[in-house]
Structure formats: C-alpha cells, structure tokens
Structure 1
Amino acid sequence: MDQSSSNQITESQNLNSETFSSQTEMPNQIAAVSQTEIPHMDADLYKALYRGDISFLKGKYSEFAHLQPQLTPKRNTVLHIAAQFGQLACVEWILHFHSCSPLLQQPNLKGDTPLHLAAREGHRGVVKALLDAAKTLHQEIESGVGTDEAMLRMTNKEKDTALHEAVRYHHSKVVKLLIEADPHFIYGANSTGYTPLYMAAERGYGDLVEIIIDLTRPSPNHRGIEGRTALHAAVLCRHQAMTKKILGWKPKLIKEVDENGWSPLHCAAYMLDAAITKQLLDGSSQDKSVIYLGIKDSNRTALHIASYNGCMDIVELLLSHAPDCCEQVDENGNNVFHFAMMKKHPSHFGSELLIKDGLRVRGLVNEKDAQGDTPLHLLASFGVNDVDFILDKTVDKMERNKEKLNFSDNRFSSRNKFSWGTLLALESPQLYHLRERIKEYLRRPFRPSSLQQAQVDDRFEGFKKYLRLPFRPSSLQHVIRKDDSKYGGKIDDDDKEEDKIISSAKKASETHLIVATLTATVTFAAGFTLPGGYRDTDGMAILTKKASFKAFVVSDTIALTFSVSAVFIFFSMAFQHALFYDLNMRTWLHLFSYASYLTLLGMGAMVVAFTTGLYAVLPHSFGLPILTFHCIFSSLFYLYASHVGRESMRLGRWKLKI
C-alpha cells in the first residue's frame, strides 16, 4: 500500500462515531461535487451492483478510480449499494481494491455507512466481509480502537449504530455477529432514547434480549424512553420468558421507576397480567418495598391500579405478599375500596373485596378521602351497580362528606347511571330479595344447606335494617351535581365515551323511527285498498286467484310486520330508559341494529308489494318491464342494505371493545 493511501486510511479512521453523526468530512473526490448539483450513478453500474453482475463490473471497471466518484442522490457509494442489496460477490470485488478503505466508514446523507445498510437488511455475509476488511487496516493511534470497532461504533444522524439497525428489524444472526466483534462496548441510546437491549425488549424479541445479555461484557445498557428499563418493556409487551430472563440477569430492575414513577409492577397491574405480576413478586421476595411504591404526582400503588381495573387475581397476589399495603392511600386519600368504585366492572368488584378477610374492616370500607367521600359515595356518583356492597352491614350508609351529603343524596343525583336491578333493590328491597331467592332456587335443584340458608337469612337481615334507615334527603341535601370535576378527575373516560355513543344512537333512532312509522302506515293502508278492488256480491278481492296478487298480499304483510316490529323496538328503548335507566351502550347498539335491520327489510318488502300490485292490475305487456325494473332495483337495494349492515356490525363490534 502506497504512502498516499495510508494517509487516507489514517485520516478516515480517526473519525469517531460522534464526528460522523454531526459533521462528516467527505473525500476530495466527493467534496468536488457541487452542492447544488444532484449526483447520480451510472445506470449500468447501479443495475450491475444490485443484480450482482460481477462479470460486467470486472469487464468495465478495472480501476477503483472509475468507481469512487460514482454517487447516488442520497450520496450512496458503490459499496453502499452492493451492501444494501446483499451482493456479497460485488462487495468482495470492491474491497479487493487497496484504495477502497475510505468507503468502509464513508457515510451517506443520512449518516449510514455500508455496515448500517447491510445490518438493516440482515445480510450476515456482507456484514462479516465488511468487518473482516476493516480488521486488516492499521489500528488507530489516537484512540487505540481498531478500524472494525470504530466502524461498529459509528452512528448515523439518528444516532443508530449497525447494532440498532439489526435489532430493529430482528436479524438475530447479524446481532450476534456484531456483538461478538466488539463485546466490551456499551451501546448508548439513539435519538429517540432506545438502546439495543430496550429496543429488543419493547418489540418482544426474546431471542435478541438473550443474545445481548449473554454476549455483552460488561452488562449492556438497559435504559429506554422516558426512563424505562428493559424490564418495563418486557412487562408491557407481556412476555413472560423475556421477563424471567431479565429478572435473572438483574433482579434490582424491579425497583427501577421511569420518569413518571411507574415501576414494572405498576405496569403489570395496568396490563392485568397476573402471571407476570407473580414473576415480579417472586423475584422481589427478599425486598417487598416495590409493592409500596407510589406513582409520581399521584402516589398510586400497584394495588390501587389493580383495584381500579377490577383484577382480583393481582389484588390477591399483592395482598398475599404484603397484607398491610391495603392501608396505603393516594394523594387524594383514596384507598383500595375507593378505586374499586371509580369504574364500572362486569362483576361486583367492591363486594368481592369485602369477602377478603384482610380487607373487611370498617376502617377501610368507610374510610374518607380528601373530600370526605367514602367508597359508597363514589359508588353512587359513578353509578356502580353493586347491590351487595350497598347492603352489606359493614358499610356505613349514613356517613356524610364535606358537602354534608350521604349515599342517598349521591344516589338521587346519579339515578340515571344505575341499572334497573340496583334501583329495584334500593326502592323495594323485599321484591329484590324475593327475586334473588327465586334465582337461587332455580340455580340449585336441591334444597340449600343450613349454612347457605343462614347466609341468605343474614342477607335478608341487612335488607330489613336498610328499610329502617332514614334515606330520604331533605331539600337542602338533595343536590344534583352538574360538575363532577370535584372528584379530582375520577370520572371514567369510558363512561363519557359511552354517553356519546348512546346520544348518537338516540338521534339516529329518531330518524329510523319516522321511516319505520311511514312504512307501517303505507303498508297498512295498502292492505285495505287492494289492487283490482272487491266483488259486489260477496266483498272478496277480485284478483284473488292471480299469483302476482298473492305475492302482493304476502309482501305487504311482511312489510307491515317488520316495520311495526321496528317501531315497537324503538318504543321499548325509550320506555325502558325513561322508567328504569337500564340501557347501557351494549344494549343500545344491539337494539338499534335489530330495529334498523327490520326497517330495511320492511322497506324492501314494501317495494316488492308495490311492484307485484302493479303487475297484478296491468297487462302483461306493461307488467314485464315493471318486473324487470323491480328486479334490478331490488338487487341494488339489497346490495346496499347488505353493505350498510356489515359496516354497522363492524362498527358496533369495534365500539363494544372500547
């Protein structure tokens, strides 16, 4: 190698990763290209590079001086193109030139070196060839870092190394090769805050997490965005094997919190994953302080989050490891029972908490928050239909908050949020008790045991005690709250979204009701003004024996039946909501879809009745075109109706997931 080439190599190697990410020094040939002129590579050369036509390259480009000035608009060199498309033969042919060494670390406009592109595309053979070529160069004098290691540590404008690129696109063989080439380097975060380990964990690449942890010496950087660790990422993607691997590697990560104060245990409770929660608790069996950690600015613990989401399995796990964590409250003074009442659950979660021996104490059940509200106040405010909790003898139903309001006052202000069953229990406990007894006997074909009977009788005693309480509020106490913000942001966003959906369904149902009523009116009138008229002798229809007349009668009857059924459903929706306040989003959407289908079918049957009626009274020369037009129109109508129905059901299923 001549002296000039050696100088070029030394100058290129002295550029470290930070220099390439901020300011890049181009070779003299590239610097000569005008900044206003868009460079372009010879078309035949570009095709030969991405096709791997090595014979063409050897025949036309015998000297490297002919290849080096060739650049694409993104400032990619010939080595960039060959490496990007994984053409190993072309890469090796380019590298055999002694003066090609500057191309190994030469970045394009985005700061990507050929190694970046090869690692991004997962071309392991090309990556190995580039690293082997870099090893043959002299060791840098100033930094003491080999050329291959300097190339591995180079970052692009996004501060991504080749390892970042290989991890992002899940190229496990390339990742292993890159780490083995420089196992002692600690990779930092890119511009978005991702380290290779965190990136692999967040994307659920368990095999890459294992490779990075096992091969990197010393331990790799585990930090990610917003101060999270790789354990946070593993928990959030609900990957048990990866969680186990990270816990075995560094158990202390369970106590690490992000910028918002969330620990991995908070994340597991938020994701409702009891299996990973158990892994975390078992991993921290020697130090249980993580259970008591509170989120920044709110001081909510994992128990509070699990209670809010109604996950009894996680609540039981947390209480089994630290029974006294139930005494913790957030910054607003809310305990585990308060959080259970802040959100509607399919099951009666508050009454399920009462069953737990470690929670069934009046100090917790009736504890007041910063605004003086007990869990029962929140149950009424949010309309949680938990009759068992309301009627439990442990719950104090007359406790008042700072506004001098008790449960009954809140109940009246939130009446439209309670279900019919809850209102029945509050207004007529005996009737509700009778209904529950009947349901109990229907579920059990045999006579209940003495223990079961004692439980039922004890519950009935709670009903009788409830009847003796002075629940009717005075005029000063009967306050309807128009602003729920006094609860400090406890209003459930799901309830707000549900109210919007129900409001939209109400407006649409009014229009559908008008259409269904008009259809019923028209078909009802057509039933008494039959086409062809009546005979004077016996008053029977004249066209009784014609097939088209029979089709008219059948289709008109179907149209009337469907439209009246739709009107009845819309009427029942309004009736139930007015009396019982028992229509939630799911019920509204189901009833609305049923009534809409019936309205569409009634309209279609009405069109059939109109066409068959005309065909029955007109000559066949006129009836045949009418029938043809009807068939075309009906086909288009039902295709449109089918499309609308599918879209409605798709949107309905999507909204039901909210």
Structure 2
Amino acid sequence: MDSNSSQVAPVDDSQIQISIQSATQDDSQTETRHMNPQLYKAAAGCKTNDEVSDILKRFHDLGDKLTPMENTVLHIAAQFGEQERVQLILEQPSGSSLLQRINKLGETPVHLAAREGHLNVVQALIDAETERVEFLRMKNHEGDTALHEAVRYHHPKVVRLLIEKDTEFTYGPNDKGNTPLYMAAERGFDDLVNIILDNRRSSPDHRGLMGRTALHAAVISKHPEMVQKILEWKRGLIKEVDDHGWSPLHCAAYLGYTSIARQLLDKSETESQVIYYRTKDESKKTALHIAASRGHKGVAKLLASYYPDCCEQVDDKGNNAIHLFMSQRRHFLKLFCARWFRARGLLNGKNKMGQTPLHLLADFQMDHGTDFIMSQKVDKMALNEQNLTATDIISSAKDSLGRQDSILRKLKSVKARAGPLGWQWALKAINENKGVNRSEDKGGVRESEDKGDVSRSKDKGEDSGGRDFIKAMKKKGENHLLVVTLIATITFAAGFTLPGGYKDDDGMAILSKKTAFKIFVVADTTALVLSMAAVCVYFFMALNNRKEVLHDFLNWGFNLTMYAIAAMMIAFMMGLYTVLPDSAWLVVFLCAICGCFFIFFSYILRKFYSSWKVMIKSSFWLRKFKLFVIKRQQLPLMRRGNGLF
C-alpha cells in the first residue's frame, strides 16, 4: 500500500479562520430596518413646521417607516413631546392608522407620551380617537397600560386625564401583578392615590405583588395620610392577607410603625379577627409575635392594649411574646409597664422545649434583665424538658460576652439554684477531666470534649480565651488611664491658673464674685475628682484577674471618665465666659460651639447605651445596690421595681 495514501491531509487553520470571519461578517452585516434620518428629525422637532410638512408629503405610507424598535413616526413625535408634529402626522392620509400601532415592546404612542409626562400630546392623541377610548386600555408586552406608565414615573396631570377619559375601566394588574393604585401606594405617591380614588365611577383594582393590596403598600411606605385615605375608601382591606398570610397589621408590626398600627386598630372594630391572624409560613406568628421577635415594644404594648387576650397566643414552637422578646437580647423593661404582660402565666410560660423566658434570658446571656430576674413573679427553679434550670444553662454556657458571672451572681442572690441533674453533670465533667489529665501524664495530648448540655469541661482553648479576655480588658483599662490622667492634669493645672488672675494685696481671685467664675470652680473640681476616681479604678484593674470584676471596673471607669469630660467642658466654657465682655459676639459663638459638643455628647451616649434607662440600669453602683437590697431581703425598697411585674 502506498505510504502517501495512508497519510491524512493537513487542515489549513488560516482557511478555517477566514471562513469563520466571513460567516460573522455576513451575520453582522444583515440589513437592519431603520427610519429615514430626515423623517426622524422632523418628528423629533428638529425641523420647522413647513419643513415637516414637506418631508411628510414625500412618504405616502408612514406606517412602513420604522426604527429598529419598530417605532413609527408618531411614536417618535409622542416620545419627544412634539404636539404640533403629532397633529401634522395625524392629518396625513395614513396618520390615523398609527394611533394603535405598537412597537417591538407592544407600546402605542400613548404609552410613550404618558411615560414622558407629555400632557398635551396625550390630549391630542385622545382627541384624535374621540369615538373610541378603548385604545387607552391597550397593554404592552409587560401588561402595562398608559396609566401604569404615568403612575410609575409620577405624572399627576397625565394620570388625571387618563382616568377622566375612561372612568369605567378598573385598570387591572400587569404581568407582575401590580395595579396603578398599588404602584402609586408602593412608591409613596399620595397625590396619585387621591386622584385614582376620587375620579372613578367604578371601584379601581387594588391588587399588587405577591397578593398584597394597596393598603399593604401604604403601610410599608409609611404614609399615614395615604393609609387613612385607603381605609376611608375600603375598610375591608384591613383583613386582606398576601400570599404569605401577612395582613397590613403584620407589616406595621414588623416595621415598628406604632402610629400606623394604631390607625389600623382604630378602623378594625368590625374586623377584630385580624389581630389573631397567623402567617402562612412555618412560624405561624401573629402580629404581636412579629412585633416581639423584632423587639418593637411600642407596637406590642399597643396591640395588647386593644386586644389583651392576644398575649395568650403562641407560635408554632410554643413561644409567647415574652419568649420572643428574650430572643432579641434587647432591653424590654418598658414592655412590662403594661399590666397584660405581667401575668405569671406569661412570665413563666413554657414553649415546646419546656423553656421559660428565664431559660432564654440565661441562654442568650442578657445582663440587662436584672428586674426580670429579681421579680417575685418569675419562677427561678423552673425546669425545661431536660430538667435544667436557668442556673444550669448559664453555668454550662461559654462566657463569650463576659456576662456569665454577673448573671450567676444575680440568680444566686434571688435563691436560684442548680436543678436536680446539675450536680450529676458536674460530677461527670470532673471525672472526664480526671481521665484527660491521666492521659496527659502518660504523654498524650490533652483534649477536651463537650459532654452534655450543662457542665462543659474547660479545655485549653477556653482557658486561652479567658486569658485573652482578661488581657484585652486590661489593655482597654491602660488606654483609658492615659485619657483620664490627661484630664486630671489639665483640671489640676486649671485650679491654680484661675481666669482673671489674683489680687496683688491678698492673693485672692480677682473674679471670685462672678457667678460664672463660681461655676468654673465647681465644674473644674468635679472634673478633677471624677478623673482621679477613674485613675484609682484603673489602677485597681491591674491588681485583679477576675473577669466579672474587670468588666465592672471598666464600666465604672468609663462612666467616670465620660462625666469628667463633660465637667471639664463646662469649666472651659465658664472660664472663657468669665474673662470675656458680656456684650461681645464671641460669647454667643462660644456658647453655641460648646452647646454643639453637649448635643454630640448626648447623642454618643444614647447610641452607646441604646436608651437612657439602659444607661442608668447598667450603672455599676446601681446594680450593686439592687443586689444588696435583695440579699438583705429589704423588699419594701424594691416594691417599685417589682410593681412592674
């Protein structure tokens, strides 16, 4: 056999590339339909009326002249708002046939004019079809009518015109499920909502996305006036729920809109069942449960004040509102000012896991739940399904937030003890540690295992975490010590370099009789005392390695430092005010600048503590005082605190 016949002929790569390029060029050079440039410019308003008339006469059938998006010359004139061009085009023999012509997106000229807000053009197009207004109801490929477009881009005059010309049409939803009324409410266009509701003979459709109504949208957009308008139009929308079972009241509870929730409740006298509606998801939450799970105390109190028995409902896991508030790790003292939340059945209610709110407080390590722990109505020895008390749970938890010891001290101060199985888990943990220690003596590597839910053996990682926590706390104390030392130095020096100087004869302060000078002396002394007290606190931090003591000392020193800064600022302001003339504009400027500092100071403290009551309750000495009172069983002194429960 010939050797040459057995060889495969090589393929020329250059020929393949040329053929591919040729095919691509053929595809890219396909003829594209387009409009004559002169005709396009004439419709867009770039020519005079005489020039436009001459250009239009050159084309016998304007319907054949299309852009790449298949827009006709009437589409172009309507889009650019050229009313005179629109009328000239409609006067042509083929012009009237363009009124209902659609482009590639299914849009008529009215769609484009309404979208751009060209009122005169919309009016001209409607006047050209006086006998039939059904073309206003035509939808594009997304199901939008001209009214949808006018509402979407907020053109009130166009919306009013379209509704007045076709008052009988209800304007249903587009392909996304949104009606014009829902779109206006969703976007917060209260003026459009008023126009749609006030200028219709038939009731407009109110549906929206995911089965929501216009009332849902008004609540979510937080427009009380719009909510009131829709409720006056159709009160029954209060009970309408979306595809997930959420009513407008559920939405208000989720977002924490207390004023809007009150509006809905005031109008729900005949629809009282709405507050008991449950969502269709797995959680089966009511509006109260949603407000509690989001930490909205105001909405929760409002709902309970209207329908107190709603507090008895639980979700699919058996959690009542108190359980859900605990899961938010938020300060909830205001909630218990309402008597409906102070019943022992709620405070000690158990979910499906047998956990009471106190169990969750311990599990989430909520250190600001002091009043709840101290309340006589709370069962401190309640057992969950695993026969564990709150003390067992907090004892077994990892102290990731540095609050474990503080919570344990509070629980012990009110006679809260470990459960019946707590000692068994502790003994088991001790035995496991002994076994681990033996293996380590034999040369093995020590390993810690998590055995059980109560007493977890502390391994090297946990010990290391504790050392890191102590080290970090002391580092913070050192940084704070630098700041407070600087404050003490400044205030000490200011005490001997008084503003105005001293008298030569007796060495007394020259301005000692001025009120501003006296305020300066008091503020400077206060700042010095507070800063020196903070210095002592930070010094003591260096001598202690207990996490709970370090945490309390740092909190104490921080508060002293902040108040020392405020006092130093007052001393500075009064010192300058003393030596400046009373009528000088500089005095006014000084007071304004210093006032801005105190506004900023208050804002920072409020952000840090989340509320002033939390700041007061988190104070070191106040918590110590409460524990002292409880320990000595001086109940009359705590009557005010227990009265909340």
TM-score (structure 1 length as normaliser): 0.60
Q: Are positions 1:353 and 2:335 aligned together?
A: yes
The correspondence for 2:394, drawn from 392, 395, 411, is 411
Once the two structures are TM-superposed, the CA of residue 477 in structure 1 deviates from its matched residue by 7.0
C-alpha distance in 1 between matches for 2:552 and 2:419: 22
Amino acid at match of 1:49: A
C-alpha distance in 2 between matches for 1:282 and 1:295: 22
Once the two structures are TM-superposed, the CA of residue 304 in structure 1 deviates from its matched residue by 1.2
Residue pairs, 1:272-287, within 5 angstroms: 272-287=256-271
- Structure 2 vs 1, CA of residues 468 and 414 (structure 1 numbering), >3 Å: closer, same or farther? closer
Q: Is the 8 A contact 2:219 2:260 kept in 1?
A: yes
C-alpha distance in 2 between matches for 1:357 and 1:479: 44
Give the structure 2 partner of residue 43 of structure 1. 37
Give the structure 1 partner of residue 480 of structure 2. none
- Structure 2 vs 1, CA of residues 580 and 119 (structure 1 numbering), >3 Å: closer, same or farther? farther
Residue pairs, 1:402-481, within 5 angstroms: 402-418=385-401, 420=403, 423-424=405-406, 426-427=408-409, 464=413, 466-467=414-415, 469-470=417-418, 473-476=422-425
Give the structure 2 partner of residue 121 of structure 1. 116
Amino acid at match of 1:204: G
Look up the SS of the partner of 1:253 in the other structure: helix
- Structure 2 vs 1, CA of residues 478 and 283 (structure 1 numbering), >3 Å: closer, same or farther? farther
Q: Is the 8 A contact 1:198 1:224 kept in 2?
A: yes
C-alpha distance in 1 between matches for 2:259 and 2:92: 57
Give the structure 2 partner of residue 172 of structure 1. 156
The correspondence for 2:324, drawn from 316, 320, 339, is 339
Once the two structures are TM-superposed, the CA of residue 67 in structure 1 deviates from its matched residue by 3.3
The correspondence for 2:69, drawn from 52, 74, 88, is 74
Once the two structures are TM-superposed, the CA of residue 63 in structure 1 deviates from its matched residue by 5.1
Give the structure 2 partner of residue 388 of structure 1. 371
Residue pairs, 1:73-472, within 5 angstroms: 73-135=68-130, 146=132, 148-149=133-134, 151-297=135-281, 298-345=283-330, 347=331, 349=332, 351-385=333-367, 386-418=369-401, 420=403, 423-424=405-406, 426-427=408-409, 464=413, 466-467=414-415, 469-470=417-418
- Structure 2 vs 1, CA of residues 172 and 255 (structure 1 numbering), >3 Å: closer, same or farther? same
Q: Is the 8 A contact 1:300 1:330 kept in 2?
A: yes
Amino acid at match of 1:111: G
Superimposed CA distance per residue, residues 132-191 of structure 1 (whole angstroms, 9 cap, x where no aligned partner): 10115xxxxxxxxx2x22x11111111111010000000010011111111111212111
TM-score (structure 2 length as normaliser): 0.61
Superimposed CA distance per residue, residues 230-273 of structure 1 (whole angstroms, 9 cap, x where no aligned partner): 00000001100100000000001000001111010010011101
C-alpha distance in 2 between matches for 1:390 and 1:418: 19
Amino acid at match of 1:322: Y
Give the structure 2 partner of residue 588 of structure 1. none
Q: Is the 8 A contact 2:312 2:346 kept in 1?
A: yes
C-alpha distance in 2 between matches for 1:293 and 1:56: 67
C-alpha distance in 1 between matches for 2:117 and 2:166: 18
C-alpha distance in 1 between matches for 2:410 and 2:175: 64
Look up the SS of the partner of 1:474 in the other structure: helix
Once the two structures are TM-superposed, the CA of residue 468 in structure 1 deviates from its matched residue by 6.5
Residue pairs, 1:488-527, within 5 angstroms: none
| Count of residue pairs the alignment pairs up | 431
Gaps of 5+ in 2: 1-28, 430-448, 454-464, 476-537, 554-606, 611-645
Q: Is the 8 A contact 1:238 1:273 kept in 2?
A: yes
Gaps of 5+ in 1: 1-34, 137-145, 430-462, 487-502, 514-567, 584-652
Q: Are positions 1:58 and 2:53 aligned together?
A: yes
- Structure 2 vs 1, CA of residues 470 and 99 (structure 1 numbering), >3 Å: closer, same or farther? closer
Q: Is the 8 A contact 2:389 2:418 kept in 1?
A: no
Once the two structures are TM-superposed, the CA of residue 396 in structure 1 deviates from its matched residue by 1.1
- Structure 2 vs 1, CA of residues 248 and 478 (structure 1 numbering), >3 Å: closer, same or farther? farther
Give the structure 1 partner of residue 457 of structure 2. none
- Structure 2 vs 1, CA of residues 158 and 231 (structure 1 numbering), >3 Å: closer, same or farther? same
Once the two structures are TM-superposed, the CA of residue 69 in structure 1 deviates from its matched residue by 2.2
Q: Is the 8 A contact 2:405 2:548 kept in 1?
A: no
Look up the SS of the partner of 1:98 in the other structure: coil
Amino acid at match of 1:389: F
Per mean C-alpha deviation after superposition, the further-off stretch among 158-167 and 279-288 is: 279-288
C-alpha distance in 2 between matches for 1:332 and 1:479: 31
CA RMSD across the alignment: 3.9
Superimposed CA distance per residue, residues 385-417 of structure 1 (whole angstroms, 9 cap, x where no aligned partner): 212112211111211111222111221243435
Amino acid at match of 2:190: G
Amino acid at match of 2:352: A
Once the two structures are TM-superposed, the CA of residue 576 in structure 1 deviates from its matched residue by 9.6
C-alpha distance in 2 between matches for 1:341 and 1:479: 31
Once the two structures are TM-superposed, the CA of residue 79 in structure 1 deviates from its matched residue by 0.4
Q: Is the 8 A contact 1:200 1:208 kept in 2?
A: yes
C-alpha distance in 2 between matches for 1:577 and 1:51: 79
Once the two structures are TM-superposed, the CA of residue 299 in structure 1 deviates from its matched residue by 2.1
C-alpha distance in 2 between matches for 1:296 and 1:101: 52
C-alpha distance in 1 between matches for 2:400 and 2:381: 21
Give the structure 2 partner of residue 7 of structure 1. none
Structure 1 runs of 4+ with >4 Å offset: 417-420, 477-480, 575-583
Superimposed CA distance per residue, residues 40-74 of structure 1 (whole angstroms, 9 cap, x where no aligned partner): 11222222222352232113332551533221111
Amino acid at match of 1:82: A
Superimposed CA distance per residue, residues 77-117 of structure 1 (whole angstroms, 9 cap, x where no aligned partner): 10000000101111111011232122111110111110100
Amino acid at match of 1:369: N
- Structure 2 vs 1, CA of residues 580 and 394 (structure 1 numbering), >3 Å: closer, same or farther? farther
C-alpha distance in 1 between matches for 2:238 and 2:105: 37
Q: Is the 8 A contact 2:391 2:418 kept in 1?
A: no
C-alpha distance in 2 between matches for 1:287 and 1:85: 50
Give the structure 1 partner of residue 515 of structure 2. none
Amino acid at match of 1:171: H
Give the structure 1 partner of residue 616 of structure 2. none
Amino acid at match of 2:372: F
Look up the SS of the partner of 1:68 in the other structure: helix
Amino acid at match of 1:414: A
- Structure 2 vs 1, CA of residues 70 and 390 (structure 1 numbering), >3 Å: closer, same or farther? same
C-alpha distance in 2 between matches for 1:576 and 1:179: 74
Amino acid at match of 2:304: L
C-alpha distance in 1 between matches for 2:136 and 2:292: 48
Once the two structures are TM-superposed, the CA of residue 579 in structure 1 deviates from its matched residue by 7.9
C-alpha distance in 1 between matches for 2:547 and 2:217: 45
Q: Is the 8 A contact 1:341 1:378 kept in 2?
A: yes
Residue pairs, 1:482-631, within 5 angstroms: none
C-alpha distance in 2 between matches for 1:479 and 1:393: 33
Look up the SS of the partner of 2:110 in the other structure: helix
Amino acid at match of 1:128: Q
